[in-house]
Structure 1
Amino acid sequence: MTVESWIPAGPALLFCPADRPERYLKALDRADMVILDLEDAVAPSNKQAARDALVGNPVHPDRVIVRINAAGTDDHELDLAAVSETQYRLVMQAKTEDPAQISAHGLPTIALIETPMGAMRTEEIVAAPNCVGLMWGAEDLIAGLGGSSSRFGDGEPDAGQYRDLPRYVRARVRLAAGAYQKAAIDAIHADIDDTAGLAAEVRDAVALGYSATACIHPSQAPHIREAYAPSPERVEWARQVLDGAAAHDGGVFALDGEMVDGPIIAQARATLARAGERPTD
């Protein structure tokens, strides 16, 4: 794995508590990648049991991310020691606030931006040599600000939607990842039963060029995959765009009355990539 080339194995990334090893294979069966969680999903009293389970129940490493606890905590060093006893080498570091916190261990790392300081230093963090991508989290961010909710509540305009500050951090994470050509993973949708809200949020993530979306329940994975997959009509449009680009040697041309130039061609390539096709230049 190289920092420049890592992309998720698919768009649905499912969190699984590391202290529940009986769920590891089930999670891999339902999602594209599994995030074996040593942090929030594990009670403090079960942290060591989670590390033991991580080491003692190996699954294929290519589809595994290990979320480790924040730098500066006792669990952080213990987590790194446990990871070193496995074949897993891709970690997600909770509450990243400084590039030195991930460069210290050198493992390929998805930096989780979920604190006010982490949000303010996003551009520095993504530039760390071993940062392969960014993910953001809304609830820890709001808690760190002394707030009460990341989303508008029932009865408010835009109920269920992110408030402005989380939207700002979400956009900042996407921009920073894009600027450094690294993967961007969108935050979880905590309301498991709100499949319509999840689908709408994922469609927006796709429109912004997010690489994947994390989830907390297996039932959410199919909705994520469906929203990331382009429609047959969109795939056919992308093929026509690239065929036209080849015929016009990459220059500007018209397709169905609309001008096609460099940015549109890039969007067509991205569409085919999401459809599992390898576009040719």
Structure 2
Amino acid sequence: MGPALLFAPADRPERYAKAAERSDAVILDLEDAVAPEAKAAAREHLVNTPLDPDATMVRINALGTADSGLDLAALARTRYRTIMVAKAEDPDAVAALADYQVVALCETAAGILAAPALARLPNVVALMWGAEDLVASLGGTSSRFSGGPKAGSYRAVATHARSQLLLSAGAAGKVAVDSIYADIPDVEGLAAEADDAVASGFGAKACIHPSQVQVIRDAYRPGDDAVAAALDLLAAADSAGTGVFAYKGQMVDGPILLHARATLRRAGR
């Protein structure tokens, strides 16, 4: 999965193939990206415009709504078996989707608090969080600061939710997916946030525009210097033959070696 997951409105079938070509996986969106009056047509497009099911997931509406039932009925007519459940909150309801691999989208206060239980479900393969719906569920107005020295950065509650979701996914051995970056022209802001996602342990990041895909890929792909440094460090560890050793003036132990191995995995080494 990932690292760059691109949302595509399910009511725009002419965009399906382009989104699939330009991303690592496409998320066909039956929820927020589709107006209520267009959802029925979007479901038919989903059925009649197939993509590779191994590189595609479908975001359905919140469980318990009439739309989610119609979404699942449409999905049954397709080969798609990976779904993103919007506003996931109820572990029992998600567990009932046993025929699907589920990405639980925790984007409400209840969803973030349920993240540990959701992550432990056998059919849940990943967790993702959403900032704006989360803040809206609390009665707030914005997940990010709009001015001053913190402009563009997350407010404390969003940062807390992001961290809690990452910890919940990691504790269960599941992938954590970082939220979208809505300011499409702000490439520098996206790059900084993607760099932080990689360093923190998110396995992928979602995006809403094809121009954001390469920025995310670049963040997840280690540079030649990083790969060389990881190889040198692991070679030094083999030579040292001890659990803890000094390397270039720094103490190296197990966690540092895990970081180096993670770098090589992202580089395909």
Alignment TM-score > 0.5, same fold = yes
SS at match of 1:86: coil
SS at match of 1:109: strand
> In 2, are the aligned partners of 1:244 and 1:253 still within 8 Å (CA)?
no
For residues 25-79 of structure 1, give each alpha carbon's deviation from its aligned partner in whole angstroms, at most 9, with x where no partner exists: 1011111110010111011111111111111111111110110110110111111
**1:3 corresponds to:** none
**1:128 corresponds to:** 121
Distance 2:37 2:173 in 1: 39
Q: Which amino acid aligns with 2:201?
A: G
> In 2, are the aligned partners of 1:108 and 1:132 still within 8 Å (CA)?
yes
Aligned-pair RMSD on alpha carbons? 1.1
Identity value in percent: 56
Q: Which amino acid aligns with 2:225?
A: E
Figure out how many residues of one structure are paired with residues of the other and give that number.
Answer: 268
How far residue 242 of structure 1 moved from its aligned partner, in angstroms, is 2.0
Distance 1:21 1:246 in 2: 53
**1:5 corresponds to:** none
Flag the 1:55–1:250 CA change in 2: closer, same or farther, 3 A: farther
Distance 2:20 2:166 in 1: 26
Greater mean alpha carbon deviation, residues 74-83 or residues 247-256: 247-256
For residues 216-263 of structure 1, give each alpha carbon's deviation from its aligned partner in whole angstroms, at most 9, with x where no partner exists: 000011111111111211111111122233334462223222222100
**2:158 corresponds to:** 166
Match of 2:96 among 89, 104, 114: 104
Distance 2:160 2:66 in 1: 32
**1:208 corresponds to:** 200
**1:246 corresponds to:** 238
**1:192 corresponds to:** 184
**1:65 corresponds to:** 57
SS at match of 1:121: helix
Distance 1:162 1:101 in 2: 30
How far residue 185 of structure 1 moved from its aligned partner, in angstroms, is 0.3
> In 2, are the aligned partners of 1:239 and 1:268 still within 8 Å (CA)?
yes
- Stretches of structure 2 that go unaligned for 5 or more consecutive residues are none
TM-score by length of 2: 0.97
Distance 2:11 2:245 in 1: 56
Match of 1:153 among 143, 146, 151: 146
Instruction: Please show how residues 1-281 of structure 1 align to structure 2 within 5 Å.
Output: 8=1, 10-106=2-98, 107-154=100-147, 156-249=148-241, 251-277=243-269
> In 1, are the aligned partners of 2:97 and 2:123 still within 8 Å (CA)?
no
Q: Which amino acid aligns with 2:111?
A: G
Distance 2:113 2:142 in 1: 20
